[in-house]
Amino acid sequence: MVKILLTVGALIATTLIVIGTFSFQNQSKMEALEKSKDRGKLTWYAEMAKAKGQDEIAFPAPISRYALAKNLNEAVAFYDVVIAEPLESNSYAGPNDIRTWYKFRIIEQLSSPTESCSNCPAIPNAPDEMLPLHENEFVAAQFGGELELDGIRLISKDTKFPPFEKHKQYLIFLSLDPVKKVGALRMGPWGTFSLDSNRNLKSVDENLKHQLREELRNQLDDSVDKLRARIKTKSKPTLE
């Protein structure tokens, strides 16, 4: 009996030593990673998850600079206004971020821009995996997404601009290249609204304040039909 107890005690002691050594090594690894010049890269997040003994890690998406229109009239002048639904999506890894590309089906195009942005960056090409596109389809990218890297699940989120939900309808203000059929979500969450069952608009983040949001709510009652009528009225030629 004494021999058995000694054996069990030795096993417990050995286990504690192994756990202690493992924890020390992990702590040292985490401290080294905190000082690493690679901090913030996707590979860094994967290594940090491993050091913590986790198989996934979540982190915020990069902060984006959006080109916000001053009001509804300016938004309609500079952006395509479409009602569309996401059909599929794929997430891709960059050195420091994850981007998710969505394929959308256009349900209705309410208007096309009458003004152009001279200093806006070029709209990128679509990933080959998202092609080909049908006549009424386009693709657009959004920061954030989920993918696996070196056995670790990486989850990147933008709390102000949540992922698009498949087959849900959205009203989107965007720059759309009609040749490439690629869109740029230049207004981000400020120009993206989901449609409820009554076809009323709901901001993807109701905490965002902007003149465009206030006009849609206070002047148009968040109604797609009223927005369509407003756009048609503004587009009618006037006699000098």
* Angle, CA of 210, 214 and 220, to the nearest 5°: 145
**Taking phi first (over 0 means left), then psi (-120 to 50 degrees means alpha), and beta for anything else, what does residue 128 get?**
alpha
Which regions of the chain are under pLDDT 50?
Answer: 2-6, 8-22, 24, 237-240
Cβ neighbours of 79 (radius 10 Å): 26
Residues in the chain: 240
Taking the C-alpha atoms of residue 213 and residue 223, their distance in angstroms, rounded to an integer, is 12
58-96: per-residue pLDDT in tens?
999 998 889 999 999 999 999 999 999 999 999 999 889
For residue 149, what are the β-bridge partners?
152
The pLDDT of residue 32 is 74
Residue type, 236: K
The pLDDT of residue 17 is 41
The pLDDT of residue 38 is 85
Q: Which helix (H) or strand (E) holds 42?
A: helix 42-51
Lookup: tokens for 184: 């740029």
Check the CA dihedral 214-220-225-231 and report its sign: negative
The pLDDT of residue 7 is 53
The pLDDT of residue 120 is 86
The pLDDT of residue 30 is 79
The pLDDT of residue 121 is 87
| pTM: predicted TM-score of the whole model, two decimal places | 0.84
Q: Which helix (H) or strand (E) holds 17?
A: helix 2-34
Taking the C-alpha atoms of residue 113 and residue 86, their distance in angstroms, rounded to an integer, is 22
Q: Which helix (H) or strand (E) holds 86?
A: strand 80-93
